[in-house]
Chains A and B, each alone.
Chain A
């Protein structure tokens, strides 16, 4: 069987599409896993998005702990005799898949940007060396565990007529010695850079927090309204919340238009925005790496360019 699991249902929908393709080629069933309460509505949604069956490991545990969730998955894999396990690559998913691989002592590949069968063996591609190369890797043994980030695959169109079985089971799993004391939602400005069609981003070239208003003004003018940033702005200076952060450890985006202002173009940042449609760079350093990854660029002081560009854009599109 092919198993799909993510605690983020949007990623699960996407994985079900690819999972279905792999399962079909292997002549196996596609099972979507839920760990938690028996949610019939969600189960039906998973079936509508391509799952043959939904396997619910019923538990009262509501806080994610990789140790316990890995134990559940270990049981489910054995119970369903699954050999291909596809897990959503968010932070929880990555540590879960890695731990599970250690528990089962099997092969695992994190952050696949593609998966397919080659000579009947599960094969994957992933970005390595900060976005400078793609590593093509293949499993020579089973079970095989892969994780896939959001937005790599599109979901199937939802088909409410699809039917499937819902299997419920309880497992007695070992509790972890760790305790979750507190879960606090991160200060978020409700931004979703991953869904944005136009993003204007800022980096170290900005001298103070207030100056980011120039980026917001430009974003508003192009009707993009979405502001992104590089690592220092979110992680070190904390001028913007982390939901703005674009890069290898931040969000990966692919808008139609990406404007990078005052961003030098460290490979870690490029890795997060390289799939954008048109990339525009504004930087005072003509040698800045960002120009190599850009379609259009202006060399100059962003403090002069941004307000002028905002007015020019307003004039153009009215």
Chain B
């Protein structure tokens, strides 16, 4: 079974600082990591491989330093990495076309696994968009997967309903955080990952002349203007002050 896992390198949003004056996020110098839910996708791929055999290729579009992150994925259990170096300007149109071209280069596949969304942008667009581009079935928000030789059955969390979907191969599946707990590689696995191949391809060699259809005009800060009145002393006194304040605000009826 050939499995491709799409993984994105993102900034660690929990480490991100906000400029106190402009309220804009400071993106420089924030540590990078593989988006959490993409690790769940890889973990699921490893579980499938353990049962069905096969090969796992991780595919990343990112800067040159994403190679280090791919090594972590190889240590977890992926067999091979492909890094497409990010073009200067990109949007989901560019990214999904690069993913599709890279996948054609990788060759035959049965399952493409993605996280439901990346933790930085949280669009959830890349997976189903790629499935549309490749014209293959898509199974989104999977919380449980059962993979047989020729089909996969998924339990999906659709908010107000739970849907069980079955599909033959090839299929693209996006998973949620709840599907599993990604493993931590052992020291041996980390050392072993150094021998696994990472193929680097530059975006313009893959497809030339892709221009974004959506442009970011501005990244605005979010002002979270709150009163920030915190009562820390005697609990009874704090409660009475709070109740008085809420009554004055007119939210107690």
A residues bordering B, Cβ < 8 Å? 66-67, 70, 90-92, 94-103, 105-111, 123, 125, 127-141, 176-186, 188, 198, 222-223, 235-236, 242-243, 248-249, 256-257, 266-267, 270, 274, 277-281, 286, 291-300, 304-305, 308-309, 312-313, 316-317
Contact = CB atoms under 8 A, between A and B. Distances in A.
B217 A138 contact: yes
B215 to A, nearest CB: 5
B242 A286 contact: no
Contacts of B116: 249
A139 B214 contact: yes
Given A266-B14, A296-B230, 4 more contacts: A91-B140, A94-B123, A132-B25, A277-B251
20 contacts: A98-B123, A98-B132, A100-B132, A101-B129, A102-B134, A103-B132, A108-B93, A110-B124, A127-B222, A129-B121, A131-B222, A133-B25, A134-B220, A140-B213, A184-B162, A186-B157, A235-B178, A291-B230, A295-B226, A296-B229
B202 interface: no
B171 interface: yes
Contacts of A256: 251
Given A102-B132, A108-B125, A222-B252, A186 B243 contact: no
Contacts of B92: 98, 101, 107-108
Contacts of B167: 177-179
B128 interface: yes
Interface in B17-65: 18, 24-25
Nearest to A251: B159
A134 B141 contact: no
A243 B161 CA distance: 11
A105 B133 contact: yes
Contacts of A223: 253
Given A136-B217, A138-B214, A292 B226 contact: yes
Contacts of A136: 216-220
A312 B245 CA distance: 12
Q: Main SS of chain B's interface residues?
A: mixed
Interface of B: 11, 13-14, 16, 18, 24-25, 91-93, 96-97, 116, 119-141, 153, 157-168, 171, 176-178, 212-222, 224, 226-232, 235-236, 238-240, 242-243, 245-247, 249, 251-253
Given A179-B167, A294-B226, A305-B235, A138 B213 contact: no
A316 B252 contact: yes
Contact of A99 (B132, B171, B215, B224): B132
A98 B128 contact: yes
Contacts of B140: 66, 91, 95
Nearest to B156: A91
Nearest to B143: A235
Q: Which 3 A-B pairs have the closest CB atoms?
A: A102-B132, A107-B213, A99-B132
Nearest to A122: B214
Contacts of B230: 281, 286, 291, 294, 296-299
Contact of B222 (A106, A134, A188): A134
Contacts of B215: 137-138, 140
B141 A133 contact: no
A91 B134 CA distance: 21
Given A95-B124, A291-B228, A139 B213 contact: yes
Nearest to A258: B251
Contacts of A270: 224
A98 B224 CA distance: 30
B158 A91 contact: yes
A317 B252 CA distance: 7
Contacts of B136: 177
Contacts of A95: 124, 128, 138, 140
Contacts of A178: 137-139, 165-167, 171
Contacts of A97: 125
Contacts of A184: 161-164
A98 B228 CA distance: 39
Nearest to A223: B253
Contacts of B120: 128-130
Among A188, A295, A299, residue most surrounded by chain B Cβ atoms (within 10 Å)? A295
A286 B238 CA distance: 14
Given A179-B166, A312-B243, A132 B13 contact: yes
B229 to A, nearest CB: 5
A222 B221 CA distance: 34
B160 A279 contact: no
A16 B36 CA distance: 36
A261 to B, nearest CB: 12
Given A136-B220, A137-B216, A139-B213, A278 B141 contact: no
Contact of A92 (B158, B240, B245): B158
Among B13, B96, B178, residue most surrounded by chain A Cβ atoms (within 10 Å)? B13
Contacts of B224: 270, 274, 292-293
B169 to A, nearest CB: 9
A171 B93 CA distance: 27
Contacts of A317: 247, 252-253
Contacts of B212: 107, 140
A243 B158 CA distance: 11
